[in-house]
Structure 1
Amino acid sequence: MWGDSTTPRDVSGGVVTKRELLRCGWEQAQIRSAIRKRQLARIRPGWFATPTADPEVVSAVRAGAAVGCISALARHGIWIPFGDKRTHLRAAEHRHRVGTGDYCTAYRELPTPRAAVDPLLVAVACAARCVSGEEFVAICDSVLHRHPELELADLRDVLTGAPERVLRLLDQVDRRAESGTESLVRVRLRHRNIRLDIQVYIPDVGRVDMLVGRSLIIEADSREHHGADYQNDRTRDQIARAAGYDPIRVTWEDVTFRWPVIEARILAMIRRGDHRGRRLAGCSLASFSVGQVGRPRH
């Protein structure tokens, strides 16, 4: 039955509304039949769960809310901060909130939830009030990187009503960032007045996450990167060193749990002048565009 062409194919966590079913061409009799056959279960008026529905989503809907904020972002495949295990919920502004979970709001009134999991940009609007500034920049990086159809103006629009300090965070957003780890490293180093560029192409080495000055390469490994391309990464580092670069590889654990130590090491390398470059064997600096080679202020 759920393979029919008239069946909703993108059901949020296995929860579907009567409105969605009717829009897909279902008849009232079909809905009643699906309930009798236990192919649908009523959660509350107008909302149904499929047999494989996610309990977290079902609980949110039963409480009269939707999965929202960073919990929704995770379901949309967007990077979220590590370690937050709460279920973030969003309810209608006027509705009495019941059940457990953390209820989130945006800087402006949002429409009553019409889906079990909030749409992407609605979730972004709520996340602006729930995470730190650097985490919000990383979230926005991830949104724009994964959704090329969106622009910075779209993010600015959903933040209508937000204070200036939040709107200024959008000036730090860069859709080229390929992981939250990379985003956090970039933001933190720039806050230390270190100029760098990201996703720089180096002949024979390939694209690197960040380049400080002429020769300090910083590679940021995300959680998903663990175990992947291990040998390839080490080979790239060897080639980079042979060409006169100084590569340093930062893991998500470094960024999450050991950042003060890692930052101190990077700053020590810059003070020592490692970013200024030794003689680059086989690689000409002329191959870089002006925008690819930054000069740190240190």
Structure 2
Amino acid sequence: MNVAMFLSSRGGTASTADLARAGFSRSQLTRAVAEGVIARIRRGHYGLPQGASAHRAARELGAKLTCLSAAPSYGLWTLLPAQRLHLCVGHRATPSGSVAHGRCRHPRHPWLPVVGLADVLMHALHCLPELEALVMVQCAVGRGDISLPFLRGKLAGNRNARARSVLDLVIPRADSLLEVLANTWFRRAGLQVRRHVEIPGVGEVDFLVEGCLIVETDGEAHLEPRQVKKDRRRNNASVVGGYLVLRFSYDDVVYHPERMLAQVFAVLEVRRRGGFQP
């Protein structure tokens, strides 16, 4: 593996120490810089010459990414990409246009200029709107990367009450951020909801609302032709089995939850009035 390939495998940047541990000598780095294969970002740090990235910006500033800016490094769900850099800068002044976060209390990422996962999530819980923080925490907890008891133990006291309230919304299992958000909206609307219910002849459904209405939350994968055909068969089997069905897309769940809820309540009301009876 040459130095450019190594940098690509490490998010496009690396420290001199990491490069040395990988077996690259200073003379090799000097030659690669002279040939334009890599670029010297600042003393002790190198990167690929093309393009800009959050990792590169963090190394240029001598800072570490955290909160929403660090989510891609850990593969966490997000509703929106970071519009500004969220940074831990230590005792230095915060760069203009960035968001400063408090000091880090846990081991950082082993090679990226990113704080540890626990710090990322705790910063997100204090910084981001409720649902944006929730999907990040849900993703990490659901994969087993971190536990809810651990996070709760780090968030004691009155000033952390809001952060703990977000943890209360985390569910045991969610296959997508859409399930997390839909579950939150349904619960807050007072609906009786069961998740991941196995329906005979249909299979597992995302939600069974009030015991009669199947609700499915469809991400991009459901737009693929094979999946569309499968979903149609499942819809038909659901109706044959005596259930009503509603399907909602990313746009519905994320940007128009009030419309989603209105349709759910409308179907339940029609059923209550006998509208689906012979």
Fold shared, TM-score > 0.5 on shorter chain: yes
Alignment of 1:120-269 (within 5 A): 120-145=117-142, 147-156=143-152, 159=155, 163-223=160-220, 225-227=222-224, 229-269=227-267
Decide whether aligned partners of structure 1 residues 24 and 9 sit closer, same or farther in structure 2, where only a CA change above 3 A counts. Answer: farther
Letter in 2 for 1:34: A
Residue 157 of structure 1: how far off its partner (Å)? 5.1
AA matched with 2:249: T
Seen in structure 2, the aligned counterparts of structure 1 residues 113 and 40 have a Cα distance that, compared at 3 Å, is farther
CA shift, 1:149, in A, is 4.6
Secondary structure at the aligned position of 2:126 is classed as coil
Which residue of the partner structure matches residue 33 of structure 2?
A: 35
* 1:66 counterpart (64, 67, 88): 64
Query: 2:16 maps to what in 1?
Result: 18
Partners of 1:60 and 1:89 within 8 A in 2: no
In the alignment, the residues of structure 2 paired with residue 226 and residue 180 of structure 1 have an alpha-carbon distance, to the nearest angstrom, of 17
Q: Is the 8 A contact 1:14 1:52 kept in 2?
A: no
Give the conservation status (yes or no) of the 8 Å contact 2:4–2:38. no
Question: Per-residue deviation at 1:272?
Answer: 4.6
- Counterpart residue identity of residue 19, structure 2: L
Q: Give the secondary-structure state (helix, strand or coil) at the position aligned to 2:146.
A: coil
Give the partner amino acid of 2:242: G
Higher mean C-alpha deviation, range 223-232 or range 255-264:
223-232
What is the CA–CA distance in structure 2 between the aligned matches of 1:167 and 1:258, rounded to whole Å?
26
The 8 Å contact of residues 137 and 170 in structure 1, kept in 2 or not, is answered as yes
Deviation, structure 1 residue 76? 2.9
In the alignment, the residues of structure 1 paired with residue 254 and residue 238 of structure 2 have an alpha-carbon distance, to the nearest angstrom, of 26
Query: Alpha-carbon deviations, 1:29-56, whole Å to 9, x = none?
Result: 3333333333331111221112456444
Partner Cα separation in structure 2 for residue 206 and residue 40 of structure 1: 52
Question: Per the alignment, in what secondary structure is the counterpart of residue 246 of structure 2?
Answer: strand
- The letter of the residue matching 1:156 is R
Classify the secondary structure of the residue corresponding to 1:150: coil
Q: What amino acid sits opposite 1:202 in the alignment?
A: I
Distance 2:4 2:86 in 1: 31
CA drift at 1:240: 0.3
User: For 1:198, what is the secondary structure of its paired residue?
Assistant: strand
Letter in 2 for 1:211: L
Q: What's the offset of the Cα at 1:163?
A: 0.8
| Alignment correspondent of 1:289 | none
Identical aligned pairs, as a percentage? 26
- C-alpha distance in 1 between matches for 2:184 and 2:258: 14
Report the equivalent of 1:105: 101
Amino acid at match of 2:263: R
Q: Deviations 1:222-278 (Å, cap 9, x if unpaired)?
A: 24543461121121111101100111111111123322222112123334556xxx9
From the superposition, tell whether residues 150 and 252 of structure 1 become closer, same or farther in structure 2 (CA, over 3 Å): same
Asked if the contact 1:221/1:251 (under 8 Å) is kept, the reply is yes
Identify, as 1 or 2, the structure richer in helix.
2
Give the direction of change, closer, same or farther, for the CA distance of 1:226–1:170 in structure 2 (3 Å limit). same
Superposition RMSD in Å: 3.2
**Is contact 1:69–1:124 with CA below 8 Å preserved after alignment?**
yes
Letter aligned with residue 85 of structure 2: H
- Shift of the alpha carbon at 1:168? 2.8
Alignment of 1:42-61 (within 5 A): 42-51=40-49, 54-61=52-59
Q: Is the 8 A contact 1:15 1:47 kept in 2?
A: yes
Q: Residue 2 of structure 1 aligns to which amino acid in structure 2?
A: N
User: TM-score under structure 1 normalisation?
Assistant: 0.77
Where do 5+ consecutive residues of structure 1 fail to align?
280-298
1:270 corresponds to 2:265: no
